[in-house]
Amino acid sequence: MFNIIEINKTLNTFTNIKKVWISPAQNKMGLLDGKVAIITGASRGIGKEIAKEFINQGATVAFTYLSSDEKAKALEVELSANGGTIKGFKSNAADYDSAHELSDAVMKEFGKIDILVNNAGITRDNLLMRMSEEQWDEVINTNLKSVYNLTKAVLKPMLKARIGSIINMSSVVGVSGNAGQSNYSASKAGMIGFTKSIAQELGSRNIRCNAIAPGFIETEMTAALDEKVVQGWRDSIPLKRGGSPKDVANTTVFLASDMSAYVTGQTINVCGGMLM
Ligand code: NDP
């Protein structure tokens, strides 16, 4: 039984607890705390911003790149400076065996894989009349076959753990098509079909699969384009601006986190209303 002194002591303890309340930011509570993510193609652009946001939200990040060794090293240094856990892997997403080696290496290093972001992608634009077989194959292999490679490679650990979120970086042109981009549009449309099929196959195992379709996203690459042309694009978008890599990264965090626990098989357009 408590006596009056003990009750007072208890109340004081509660009061003290109130006084030392720690804000979520101080406590580093994040939407992705404790989760391990693979992000393909994160040495620059959208993938790099996704890596930053994932680290901010408490995830452990394994990212890939194809050739940008220095940029990858710099990203590791930048994002581990505040205690984040991040590791870069030089791994060709278009290669089946490399994808499996990557998955094995991440399992060995971090023990699990909760999230896969299939972000690596390239363009080789040309009108069909002039498009070479090489331009077609390169885009389909890097953008679409890579999604099969990586998803297949992380399947075993995700199935075993009965948890997973797979996010495929498609594009609005995968929905609408675009003259001069038949290879790219086909690869991005293929990703959406793949996403819906995997969502149906793996939903019963608590593995979700969604796609993001970014519109016009302003990156280092678009900064080099003619300002008048770019302004014309901005003016034609309902929100009157190009998107930022952070706009895409925020949606990726949502789909990776438990905030989207009841969302699967969907394509979210992050395009300022360009596509409705
Ligand atoms: P970037 O060209 O800026 O970056 C591409 C990234 O993918 C780089 O890290 C690159 O590595 C990596 N990569 C390329 N090929 C491979 C490969 N075979 N294996 C592993 N990594 C590879 O692209 P963005 O940031 O602009 O685009 C990212 C994704 O978003 C792409 O899938 C793109 O199609 C999609 N998207 C982009 C839009 C935009 O406006 N930017 C609009 C709609 C969709 P390295 O540096 O070593 O070459």
> 68-100: per-residue pLDDT in tens?
999 999 999 999 998 999 999 999 999 999 999
State how far the Cα of 143 lies from the Cα of 199, in Å rounded to an integer.
19
- The verdict on whether 148 is a catalytic residue reads no
Q: Is the CB of 142 under 6 A from ligand 1?
A: yes
Structural domains of the chain ordered from first start: 30-270 (3.40.50.720)
Residue of 46, 49, 168 to test ligand 1 pocket, by largest number of atoms within 8 Å of CB: 46
Residue 257 main-chain phi, psi, to 5 deg: -90, 170
170 Cα nearest atom in ligand 1:
44
> Under 8 Å CB-to-CB from 192, ≥6 apart: which residues?
168, 170, 174, 175, 211, 213, 267
State how far the Cα of 104 lies from the Cα of 261, in Å rounded to an integer.
26
Q: What is the largest CA-CA distance in the chain?
A: 90
Q: Of 2-11, 93-102, 260-269, give the lowest mean pLDDT range.
A: 2-11
pLDDT at 6 over 50: no
| Å from CA of 232 to ligand 1 middle | 24
- Contact (CB, 8 A) for 46 and 246: no
Closest CA to 168 of 118, 114, 116, 113: 118
> 182-241: per-residue pLDDT in tens?
999 999 999 999 999 999 999 999 999 999 999 999 987 788 889 999 999 999 999 999
| Å from CA of 47 to ligand 1 middle | 7
Question: How would you class 210 by CB atoms within 10 Å of its CB: exposed for 0-12, middle for 13-18, buried for 19 or more?
Answer: buried
Q: Of 31-45, 133-147, 150-164, 221-235, give the lowest mean pLDDT range.
A: 221-235
